[in-house]
Amino acid sequence: MSTSERLIESTRELLWERGYVGTSPKAILERSGAGQGSMYHHFKGKPDLALAAIRRTAEEMRATAEAVLAGPGTPYERIEAYLLRERDVLRGCPVGRLTMDPDVIADDALRAPVDETLDWLRTRLTGIVEEGRERGEFAPALDSAEIAAAVVATVQGGYVLARASGSPAAFDAGVRGLLALLAPRER
């Protein structure tokens, strides 16, 4: 792995663990094993490196979600697969956690990949719910965009509740509840 890749990967991990303020250049260099001048050789500074790390995290989240959402099955089964996929629930969402970081939210450039990823996810889920409505799998009165927002809110809120309680049970309960509400209607 190249030095710039090690710097990006180390920054991604530290942002997830500590947030922006807690991710010091010294911690990045220690985690990456890179020399002192390496960060400034490859990046303009911490904000530039953090942006590269956030973009990478956002791209990875979109790719992981797309792999499940584009998979086989009915719209309900694809949403179910997304909700039930393997996650490190107690660590939280690496993108969602950035929304609680005041330094990321205050910086338009750092916030942009977070906003874009959550917007992409809501849009992608809206299309799947709409497909389910058109196929008669979901009630015609459902608002596809609102259901998509509820799916994203359940996942992100589930992470928060699980971290607060120290147990994935709250996440799992929220997912089960949402799936029960979305279960295809009898024809």
Written as tens digits, the pLDDT of the chain (187 aa) is 899 999 999 999 999 999 899 999 999 999 999 988 888 899 998 999 999 999 999 999 999 999 999 999 999 999 999 999 999 999 999 999 899 899 999 999 999 999 999 999 999 999 999 999 999 999 999 999 999 999 999 999 999 999 999 999 999 999 999 999 999 876 5
> What was the pLDDT predicted at 115?
96
Give the Cα separation of 110 and 118 in Å (integer).
14
Residue 149 neighbours by CB under 8 Å, 6+ apart? 122
Q: What share of the chain is helix, strand, coil (3-state, %, to 5)?
A: 75, 0, 25
Instruction: Of 148, 135, 151, 33, give the one whose Cα is nearest residue 84.
Output: 151
User: Residue 64, Cβ neighbours under 10 Å: how many?
Assistant: 14
Write down the H helix ranges in 33-143.
Answer: 38-42, 46-69, 75-84, 102-106, 108-134
> What was the pLDDT predicted at 186?
65
> What was the pLDDT predicted at 84?
97
